Copies of this chain bind each other. A is one copy, B any other.
Amino acid sequence: MPITIKDVAKHANVAPSTVSRVIADSPRISIETKKRVNRAMDELGYHPNLIARSLANQSTHVLGLVMPESVDVIFQNPFFSSVLQGLSEGAHNKTYALQMTTGKTKDEIFQEVVQMVQGKRVDGLVLLNSHVEDRLMSYLMDYGFPFVVIGKPYQLEDRVTHIDNDNFQAAKEVTEYLLGLHHKRIAFIGGNQDLVVTVDRLLGYKAALKEAGIEPIDSYIVHGEFLKEGGQEAIDALLKLKNRPTALVVTDDLMTLGVLHMLEDLGIAVTKEISIVSFNNVFLARMTQPPLTSVDINIFSLGYEAAKSLIEKIENSKEPVKRIIIPHQLIIRSSCAAMEA
């Protein structure tokens, strides 16, 4: 029913292949016919059937997004939206479309990916799940399918292109910042422990302490998942310690919001009694009471560069493996105070 390339061909008195060439803007075609064909396309309101083109081309101009597994948890995080925004812009720049997985379990997602890949629905994939997961990655590597990951691919840093922050360094810096304010009892509140990002930040935190001659203590290191049952208990325990920390490194602004809430309940005054530095610097970091000192990790860029480098990989199959580190910076607001000497 809709206009096809044949209709245009007839209308312009040329062969279908000629129309195709005009669309592809082939150089070896007379300006004359080019004009005539273009006019015909306009007059008929022609639009190429992208599916047919994909079939002939063996390429779709679509990027697949592999969503994180525990969507409920991560989706809520503004982090996620920002990455998506970056990906969107990166894809748009090169006129690629974006398609995403919808499954919730690891298995469902794996199946969807297989469908996308073998079903030839996408030209490449961005993995958003920095979980320590490798079935998917080994599948993709075996298959030789283009993909990049946002975050650090566990144990495959040298073999897959990834876009990440220097989370170790960032955590080290914030801890040093706190040390510089004469804090000695600094605790670490991290997210899910099998997220590589959490591990990296924990290591950075420990490294800073050690360099300062302070031995990290286990009771000062907790992993709370606010959105899950019981996640708050560990933190509650930490804050009730007789030797309560005077400063906290919290690995996510949203978690910090929760911590703030708990501190309020416990009647502990942020800044005066306890300092906090947080991560991600999402929108709400400046809206809390007090406004948070937080590490801006340039989430948008994470997504943008991921799309960009994936497209490079797609369009140039022997693009080398890359590790792209997005810079971070500590944004100082009002959630930290110096200890009295």
Residue numbers of A with Cβ under 8 A of B are 2, 47-52, 54-55, 60, 62, 67, 71-72, 75-78, 80-82, 84-85, 88-89, 91-92, 96-100, 102-104, 108, 112, 114-116, 118-121, 227, 254, 257-258, 260-261, 264, 282-284, 287-289
Write the chain B residue with the least CB distance to A143: B2
Q: Which residue in B80, B119, B288, B289 is a CB contact (below 8 Å) of A50? A: B119
Q: Name the B residues within 8 Å of A92 (CB-CB).
A: 102-104, 108
Supposing A118-B47, A257-B284 touch, asked if A85 and B71 sit within 8 A by C-beta, the answer is yes
Q: Which residue in B75, B85, B257 is a CB contact (below 8 Å) of A287? A: B257
Q: Name the B residues within 8 Å of A78 (CB-CB).
A: 76, 78
Between-chain CB contacts (< 8 Å), 8 pairs:
A47-B119, A76-B283, A80-B81, A81-B81, A88-B100, A99-B99, A99-B100, A257-B287
Report whether A98 and B102 are in contact in the complex, using a CB–CB cutoff of 8 Å.
yes
Q: Which residue in B77, B98, B289 is a CB contact (below 8 Å) of A100? A: B98
* Distance of A100 Cα from B120 Cα, bound (Å): 18
Report whether A71 and B88 are in contact in the complex, using a CB–CB cutoff of 8 Å.
yes
Report whether B102 and A91 are in contact in the complex, using a CB–CB cutoff of 8 Å.
yes
* Distance of A51 Cα from B81 Cα, bound (Å): 29
Copies assembled: 2
* Distance of A115 Cα from B60 Cα, bound (Å): 13
Q: Which residue in B54, B99, B288 is a CB contact (below 8 Å) of A98? A: B99
Q: Name the B residues within 8 Å of A99 (CB-CB).
A: 62, 97-100
Nearest-Cβ distance from residue A262 to partner chain B, whole angstroms = 10
Q: Which residue in B54, B60, B89, B102 is a CB contact (below 8 Å) of A102? A: B89
Report whether A48 and B102 are in contact in the complex, using a CB–CB cutoff of 8 Å.
no
Q: Name the B residues within 8 Å of A89 (CB-CB).
A: 102, 104
Q: Which residue in B103, B120, B282 is a CB contact (below 8 Å) of A51? A: B120
Q: Which residue in B2, B254, B261, B283 is a CB contact (below 8 Å) of A289? A: B261
Nearest-Cβ distance from residue A98 to partner chain B, whole angstroms = 5
Q: Name the B residues within 8 Å of A119 (CB-CB).
A: 47-51
* Distance of A18 Cα from B119 Cα, bound (Å): 20
* Distance of A181 Cα from B102 Cα, bound (Å): 44
Write the chain B residue with the least CB distance to A84: B75
Q: Name the B residues within 8 Å of A115 (CB-CB).
A: 47, 50
Beyond A49-B55, A81-B81, list 9 extra A-B contacts (CB 8 Å). A2-B118, A49-B119, A51-B54, A75-B85, A97-B116, A97-B121, A99-B100, A254-B283, A261-B287
Write the chain B residue with the least CB distance to A284: B257
Report whether A97 and B102 are in contact in the complex, using a CB–CB cutoff of 8 Å.
yes
* Distance of A289 Cα from B261 Cα, bound (Å): 7
Report whether A289 and B289 are in contact in the complex, using a CB–CB cutoff of 8 Å.
yes
Nearest-Cβ distance from residue A82 to partner chain B, whole angstroms = 7
Q: Name the B residues within 8 Å of A2 (CB-CB).
A: 118
Q: Name the B residues within 8 Å of A227 (CB-CB).
A: 283
Q: Name the B residues within 8 Å of A102 (CB-CB).
A: 88-89, 91-92, 96-98
Report whether B81 and A49 are in contact in the complex, using a CB–CB cutoff of 8 Å.
no
* Distance of A72 Cα from B89 Cα, bound (Å): 11
Nearest-Cβ distance from residue A1 to partner chain B, whole angstroms = 10
